[in-house]
């Protein structure tokens, strides 16, 4: 059975081999077989889909497309719908060759190619939902190169006019990224081994401006007493107790919410009381020592499922960001005297309260993994600052104990 991971591995390995790599899909007797042939070809890697048929001890083949223009799921669907039944009925490759129409890359192919590259990243689910709106509007079978800028602009205006401002912005961003991913695979001169031929001359989303108003930076910061009220409420709540624990860890560490929700057992070192990410939003590794209140919360967790993640919802998926937002909304409903805030404001609140606790801005930036843009930090300084972070977190722990007892 061919998988996307096997295809990526074959593409990476092909330049080092002289012979082509054949990835064969499962097949039923007498129905032919879907095969992806990966071979080095001049300054690129050719990835061609073939249908193999065996008759009288001899093999015949027919090329039906190019990966990723024709994605794995689409190739498998085409084979099962158009070729396997005809081969089983005795149709020869010569007859099939004359009945196979030319197929242009579709919007569905483009989206599937981008999502396959994005899979495993925190933004995957958001991107999939945003791009689903475009697929529903234009249709998966619409040729990707035929959709004009004016059509995309009108489509986004319809989303915007019904009040879904953030949705329109996200859809525009992810569509632009999907087209750009396909174009880069064809025109990027820094990539020696290129895959596929999308036939795109330009990105139709480039001239559609980004709506910066949809992503205004937040300003809300909780006071110490509001922080304590929410923290105590999370301790008492009986509903979504697992998600409430994740929210408290976010409040105690100041880390990005998605990075906490995706924590895996391999990232928590109980002996050192540290959390480690090998890759984060800024593409850098990140390690923090935990305050003692967060250590107690982490020690009370057990990894779930075969993946070893701590925060899993139904069907083995990670708890979604909106679950944290729902907790904040429920708290606000029960505490009408507190000004509205969202889950994302808790990261800003940590930065502010940690400053009140006496932590310097530099160590707070390092604890929150904010990019340091000076020349020394970017190019020269490779010290891990773990001891400094540990000292700072001990001071923060003392401050948390102080406000919990003083406001409790």
Q: Is the pLDDT of residue 390 over 70?
A: yes
User: What does the alpha-carbon distance between residue 103 and residue 289 come to, in Å, rounded to a whole number?
Assistant: 55
Q: Quote the tokens at residue 395.
A: 């001071």
The tens digit of pLDDT for each residue in 282-322 reads: 777 899 999 999 999 999 988 887 778 888 776 666 677 77
Tens digits of residue pLDDT in 55-79: 767 788 888 888 887 888 888 888 8
Residue 85 CA to residue 87 CA, distance in Å, equals: 6
Percent of the chain with pLDDT over 70: 90
With 70 as the cut, is the pLDDT of residue 195 above it? no
Longest pairwise C-alpha distance within the chain:
87
Kindly state the percentage of the chain with pLDDT values over 90: 39
Average pLDDT over residues 187-196: 60
The domain limits of the chain are 4-99, 107-215, 224-407
Task: Give the pair of three-digit tokens for residue 308.
Answer: 């070893």
Averaged over 190-212, what is the pLDDT? 76
Using CA atoms, how far apart are residues 70 and 51, in angstroms rounded to an integer?
14
Least confident of 222-226, 236-240, 259-263: 236-240
Above 80 in pLDDT, residue 359?
Answer: yes
Tell me which range, 1-10, 14-23, 89-98, is most confidently predicted by mean pLDDT: 1-10
> Is 228 a residue whose pLDDT tops 60?
yes
**403 — pLDDT class (breaks 50, 70, 90):** very high
Tens digits of per-residue pLDDT, 81-124? 888 888 887 777 666 665 555 567 889 888 988 888 887 777 88
Sequence-distant (≥ 6) Cβ neighbours of residue 359 within 8 angstroms: 367, 392, 395, 396
How crowded is the C-beta side of 4, counted as CA atoms within 13 Å?
15
Q: How far apart are CA 288 and CA 366, in angstroms?
A: 9
pLDDT category at 192 given cuts 50, 70, 90 is low
Interval 145-172: pLDDT, tens: 889 999 999 999 999 999 888 889 999 9
Tell me, what's the pLDDT at 360? Answer: 94
pLDDT for 180: 92
Reported confidence tier of residue 325, pLDDT bands at 50, 70, 90: confident
State the Cα–Cα distance between residues 373 and 375, nearest whole angstrom.
Answer: 7
pLDDT at 46 over 70: yes
Q: What is the pLDDT of residue 408?
A: 53
Vertex 321: Cα angle to 231 and 175 (nearest 5): 155
Kindly state the average pLDDT of the residues 196-225. Answer: 82
- pLDDT surpassing 70 at residue 377: yes
CATH architecture observed for domain 107-215: Orthogonal Bundle (1.10)
Architecture of domain 4-99: 2-Layer Sandwich (3.30)
Dihedral of alpha carbons 370, 371, 376, 380, sign: positive
What is residue 392's predicted lDDT score, i.e. its pLDDT?
95
Residue 232 three-state SS: helix
Rounded average pLDDT over 41-50: 78
Q: Candidates 1.10.10.60, 3.40.50.300, 1.10.443.10, 1.20.1250.10; correct CATH number of 224-407?
A: 1.10.443.10
Q: What does the mean pLDDT of the chain come to?
A: 85
Separation between Cα atoms, residue 306 and residue 39, nearest integer Å: 35
């Amino acid at each position: 059975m061919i998988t996307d991971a096997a295809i990526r591995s074959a593409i990476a390995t092909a330049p080092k081999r002289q012979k082509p790599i054949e990835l064969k899909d499962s097949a039923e007797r007498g129905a032919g077989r879907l095969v992806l042939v990966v071979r080095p070809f001049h300054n690129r890697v050719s990835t061609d889909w073939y249908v193999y048929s065996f008759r009288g001890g001899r093999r015949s083949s027919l090329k039906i497309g190019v990966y990723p223009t024709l994605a794995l799921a689409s190739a498998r669907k085409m084979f099962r719908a158009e070729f396997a039944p005809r081969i089983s009925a005795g149709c020869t490759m010569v007859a099939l060759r004359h009945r196979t129409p030319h197929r242009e890359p579709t919007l569905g192919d483009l989206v599937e190619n981008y999502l396959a590259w994005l899979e495993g990243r925190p933004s995957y689910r958001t991107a999939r939902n945003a791009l689903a709106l475009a697929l529903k509007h234009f249709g998966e079978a619409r040729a990707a190169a035929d959709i004009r800028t004016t059509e995309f602009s009108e489509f986004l205006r319809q989303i915007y006019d019904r009040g879904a401002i953030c949705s329109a912005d996200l859809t525009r961003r992810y569509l632009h990224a999907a087209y750009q991913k396909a174009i880069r695979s064809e025109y990027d001169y820094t990539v020696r081994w290129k895959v596929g031929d999308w036939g795109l001359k330009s990105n139709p989303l480039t001239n559609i401006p980004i709506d910066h108003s949809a992503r205004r930076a937040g300003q809300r910061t909780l006071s110490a007493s509001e922080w304590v009220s929410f923290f105590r409420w999370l301790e008492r709540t009986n509903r979504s107790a697992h998600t409430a624990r994740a929210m408290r860890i976010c409040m105690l560490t100041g880390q990005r919410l998605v990075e906490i929700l995706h924590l895996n057992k391999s990232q928590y070192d109980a002996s050192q009381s540290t959390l480690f990410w090998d890759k984060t939003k800024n593409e850098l590794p990140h390690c923090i020592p935990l305050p003692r209140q967060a250590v107690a919360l982490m020690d009370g967790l057990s990894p779930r499922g075969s993946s070893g993640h701590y925060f899993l919802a139904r069907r083995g998926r990670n708890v979604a960001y909106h679950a944290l937002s729902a907790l904040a909304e429920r708290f606000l409903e029960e505490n009408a005297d507190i000004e509205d805030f969202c889950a994302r404001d808790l990261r800003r609140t940590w930065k502010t309260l940690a400053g009140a606790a006496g932590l310097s801005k530099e160590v707070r930036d390092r604890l929150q993994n904010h990019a340091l843009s000076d020349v020394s930090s970017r190019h020269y300084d490779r010290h891990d600052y773990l001891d400094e972070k540990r000292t700072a977190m001990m001071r923060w722990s003392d401050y948390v104990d102080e406000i919990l007892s003083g406001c409790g």
